[in-house]
Amino acid sequence: MNGWQQDKKWSDQFLPEIKSILGVHLIGEPPLEEDQERNTDLMVLKMDAVRIGCRIRTIDYIDRYGDEFTIRAGRPSGIKTEMSKIIEGWGDYFFYGFGDDSGLKQWTLARLNIFRLWYNSQLYYGNRPGVKKNNKDNSSFFIAFKWADLPKKFIVASHENN
């Protein structure tokens, strides 16, 4: 198994917990007339496909990097990265968290359309948002962003287990 497959297998263990969290924040109760006239007790907030990118980091990083999130922005191979896909318009939400084998310890759910608008406006005004960080093995680089630097409406919900 290569590094990407191992990383994916590790992060996929959190999918049931992530789906539960997303259900709380992306499924709502409908107006009363929906229940009365259309047999509707719950509604997904959007009927189109909703794309959610998920990234889980090991708990080892939470003390140093708990106030930021990273997006892979480059690979020596030139393969398309998460940053490229986000800027192209892919993805509706971004779920970012820290966890260990017992579950998620901290997470944030954010709106990617708000990120795109903010990021592009920063570039427009000549600012290069975020800080470039190389992966330990130089297999890729990331851009780190502080949660506090983005507009408040970027974050849908967040939680920290103490």
Express each pLDDT in 34-90 by its tens digit.
777 777 777 776 667 788 999 999 999 999 999 999 999 998 888 889 999 999 999
- Which of 22, 16, 98 lies closest to 56, judged by CA? 98
Residue 62 belongs to a domain: yes
Q: Is the pLDDT of residue 2 over 70?
A: no
The answer to whether residue 9 is domain-embedded is no
For 1, half-sphere exposure in the C-beta direction (CA atoms, 13 angstrom radius) is 8
Domain count, the chain: 1
Q: Range of 75's domain?
A: 48-160
10 part of a folded domain: no
Structural domain includes residue 111: yes
Rounded to whole angstroms, what are the CA distances from 106 to 46, 65, 136, 138, 150? Answer: 26, 11, 23, 27, 18
Q: Is residue 138 part of a domain?
A: yes
For residue 143, is it within any domain?
A: yes
Cα separation of 141 and 143, whole Å?
Answer: 7
**Which range among 58-62, 110-114, 132-136 shows the weakest confidence by mean pLDDT?**
132-136
**pLDDT over 90 at 145, yes or no:** yes
User: Is residue 1 very low, low, confident or very high in pLDDT (cuts 50, 70, 90)?
Assistant: low
In a domain, 137, yes or no: yes
Around Cβ 110, how many Cβ atoms within 10 Å? Answer: 20
The answer to whether residue 56 is domain-embedded is: yes
98's CB contacts (< 8 A; 6+ apart) are 56, 57, 58, 59, 61, 62, 66, 104, 105, 106, 107
Burial of 79 (0-12, 13-18, 19+ CB in 10 A): exposed
What pTM does this model have?
0.83
